[in-house]
A = this chain, B = another copy of it.
Amino acid sequence: MSSALWFPTLGLLAWLCCLSLEPVQGEKILVLPVDGSHWLSMKILVKELSRRGHDVLVVVPECSLLMKSSDSYKTEIYKVPYTKDDLDKSINALKDGAFLKPPSITDLFVNVERLVNFTSMQVKGCESLLNNHPLMTRLREEGFDLMLTDPFLPCGSVLAHMFSIPTVHFLRGLPCELERRANQCPAPPSYVPVAFTGNTDTMTFPQRVKNMVVSFMGSYMCKVIYSHFDDLVSRYLGDNMTYKDLLGLADFWLLTQDFVVEWPKPLLPNMAFIGSINCKNASPLPEDLEEFVDDSGDDGFVIFTLGSMVSDMPAEKAKEFFDAFGQIPQRVVWRYTGVPPVDVPKNVKLMKWLPQNDLLAHPKAKAFMTHGGIYGVYEGICNAVPMLMFPLFGDQGDNVHRMVSRGVAEKLNMYDVTAEKVVTALNKIIHDKSYKEKIVKMSAIHLDRPVEPLDLAVFWTEFVIKHKGAKHLRIAAHELNWIQYHSLDVIGFLVIILLTVLFVTFKCCLFCTRKCFRKGTVKKKKE
- Give residues in A with beta carbon < 8 Å to B: 1-3, 5-9, 11-12, 15-16, 19, 21, 185-186, 188-191, 201-202, 205, 208-209, 212-213, 259-260, 263-270, 281-282, 361, 363, 382-384, 436-437, 440-441, 443-445, 447-448, 450-451, 455-456, 459-460, 463, 466-467, 472-477, 479-480, 484-487, 489-491, 493-494
Contact = CB atoms under 8 A, between A and B. Distances in A.
A490 B361 contact: no
A258 to B, nearest CB: 9
Given A15-B440, A363-B12, A444-B19, A266 B494 contact: no
A212 B494 contact: yes
User: How many copies of the shown chain assemble into the complex?
Assistant: 2
A343 B382 CA distance: 71
Given A6-B282, A267-B267, A444 B21 contact: yes
Contacts of A456: 450
Contacts of A493: 205, 209
A383 B4 CA distance: 11
B494 A472 contact: no
A205 B7 CA distance: 42
Nearest to A463: B448
B485 A466 contact: no
15 contacts: A1-B447, A6-B382, A12-B363, A19-B444, A21-B447, A190-B477, A190-B487, A201-B476, A205-B490, A208-B484, A208-B490, A212-B487, A264-B475, A445-B472, A450-B450
Nearest to A382: B6
Contacts of A460: 450
A448 B6 CA distance: 12
Given A266-B266, A267-B269, 19 more contacts: A1-B448, A5-B282, A6-B443, A8-B282, A12-B363, A15-B440, A186-B188, A190-B487, A191-B480, A191-B485, A202-B476, A205-B490, A205-B493, A209-B493, A212-B490, A212-B494, A448-B467, A450-B450, A451-B451
Contacts of A361: 5-6, 8
Contacts of A21: 444, 447-448
Given A188-B186, A266-B267, A450-B451, A489 B205 contact: yes
A478 B267 CA distance: 17
Q: Which 10 A-B pairs have the closest CB atoms?
A: A9-B363, A201-B476, A19-B444, A191-B476, A15-B440, A266-B266, A450-B459, A186-B186, A264-B475, A5-B281
A460 B382 CA distance: 20
A205 B479 CA distance: 13
A11 to B, nearest CB: 6
A213 B494 contact: yes
Contacts of A282: 5-6, 8
Contacts of A268: 264, 266-267
B266 A185 contact: yes
Contact of A265 (B265, B448, B467, B475): B475
A474 B436 CA distance: 23
